Homo-oligomer: A and B are copies of this chain.
Amino acid sequence: MRVDNFGAGPCTLPLPVLEEAQEEFLDFAGSGMSVLEMSHRSDVYSAVHAEALSLAREVSGAPAHFEVVVIPGGATMQFAMVPLNLLGNRGRGAYVAAGSWGVLALGDAQRWGDSYCAWDGKPHGYTRMPVAEEVAIQPDTAYLHLTSNETIGGIRMVESLDVDLPQVCDMSSDFLARPIDWDRYDLVYGGVQKNLAPAGMALVFIRRSVLENISPVLPRMLDYRWYAEKDSLGNTPPVFPIYLMGKMLKRLRDLGGIPGLEERTARKAGLVYDVIDQSDGYYHNPVVRRYRSHTNVVFRLPTPEAEARFLRESQAAGLVGLRGHKSVGGCRASLYAGLEVDSAARLASFMDDFRLNGA
């Protein structure tokens, strides 16, 4: 029996997508082989690849002056590639460190050079995002790096920051679940293993003029230009995540694209936040309300004992993956694209019952 999976990633994928992949797993499109066994230069795979990237452009609304590429390794590889490609020897990146992911992105950037923290969420307990006036830009800054949603604190950017710098945004945890302000960004990326696919790669959008200004000579796998020139097929790509991303994107398109996913995500989050807000303080969400994440709802119960019992009993009820990140404890419900609204409703109702009846 399939459970309701609130894990923070890798995370639940829609059952119809998995069933389709299972059905054609041994013989894809009449080829007599699995999609896993196919040359990445074959006609059959080429069509899968082209469709997945073209759907990424269509569903995201990326304008023609952005390249769309996929790169092995998830967002953490992008923490290395963004400064390597965009800084070269010129200047440094400013980083908003509003949570663990921003802190890690900054740390990796600093291993190449001279990037710095332009806003630190730590004094605020990682409970909110900054406003533009708080972001302290130093001279010779090439870009401002943001994380649109921090999964551990459970906070999200509400609007883009009006800062006079090219911006780079890690959208791993709410990719395509909110409009993308293309005018503001030079580069938008995300690991795919939350809203878009199984683990194994990042989807990256890069403004073409940025590519033209990359100066360092880089090994091919670390050079954005190579992916753009070769349509992400310069070497053997991570075939299976690309193939499943295509199926996911088709589904997201049919569910209304970004507006549809945004609305659906907000609806799921609303169900859980409503229970929290109507619990007379039994459940507590520590985030400044305006910045509450729609994809990661964090909450505490009155005592560690209550939390332990909540996690045990929810698990037994088939609601899994609700343990908060080990660095902060408590509970967390991740509500990614693959999670059905019904699953969020079941969680909300379990939370109500647990509070009222001790579950």
Contact = CB atoms under 8 A, between A and B. Distances in A.
Interface of A: 1-3, 5, 7-13, 15, 18-19, 21-22, 25-27, 31-34, 36-40, 42, 72-77, 79-80, 84, 108-109, 111-112, 191, 193, 198-201, 217-222, 234-241, 244, 318, 320-321, 338
A200 B72 contact: yes
A73 to B, nearest CB: 4
Contacts of A321: 39
B108 A220 contact: yes
B18 A3 contact: no
Nearest to A222: B80
A198 B26 contact: no
Contact of A19 (B26, B200, B235): B26
Contact of A219 (B15, B111, B191, B193): B111
> Max chain B CB contacts within 10 Å: which of A73, A111, A338?
A73
B199 A2 contact: no
Interface SS, A side: loop
A8 B235 CA distance: 13
Given A25-B25, A26-B2, A32-B320, A9 B236 contact: yes
21 contacts: A3-B31, A5-B33, A7-B39, A15-B26, A18-B26, A18-B34, A18-B36, A22-B25, A39-B321, A40-B199, A72-B72, A73-B73, A73-B221, A76-B235, A84-B219, A108-B220, A111-B220, A199-B237, A199-B238, A199-B240, A200-B241
A7 B37 contact: yes
Contacts of A109: 219
Count copies of this chain in the complex: 2
Contacts of A235: 74-76
B10 A198 contact: no
Contact of A39 (B10, B84, B111): B10
Please give me the 3 A-B residue pairs with the lowest Cβ-Cβ distance, nearest first.
A80-B219, A3-B32, A72-B73
Given A74-B72, A193-B236, A318-B32, A219 B79 contact: yes
A77 B221 contact: yes
Given A111-B218, A219-B108, A320-B32, A236 B80 contact: no
A79 B221 contact: yes
Given A22-B25, A236-B199, A237-B199, A219 B112 contact: yes
Given A10-B236, A13-B37, A111-B218, 4 more contacts: A199-B237, A200-B238, A200-B240, A240-B241
Nearest to A77: B221
Nearest to A45: B10
A2 B31 CA distance: 8
Nearest to A217: B111
Contacts of A112: 219
